[in-house]
Structure 1
Amino acid sequence: MKKNVGTTERVIRAIVGLVALGAAFTVLGVLEGATLG
């Protein structure tokens, strides 16, 4: 149980981290595009 929970938690954190990074880069890209616009 502990191993499964730990693995699942790691996977969830990894996915959340990737999504957060993607969102951050998207926001930065939009802001940069608007600034350079």
Structure 2
Amino acid sequence: MSEDEVMAASQGAAISVNPNEQILFEDDTQQTLIN
């Protein structure tokens, strides 16, 4: 596998394991910027 394929596979695994994690992270970042 190329590095790009490894990155895509690991990102896909992370998304399938916890699809809400990125959304929560973005919300936390927005709250931090607001405060």
Q: For this structure pair, what is the TM-score category when the shorter chain's length is used for normalisation?
A: 0.3 to 0.5
Bigger helix share: 1
Q: TM-score, normalised on structure 2?
A: 0.48
Greater length-normalized contact order (CA 8 Å, ≥ 6 residues apart): 2
Q: TM-score, normalised on structure 1?
A: 0.46
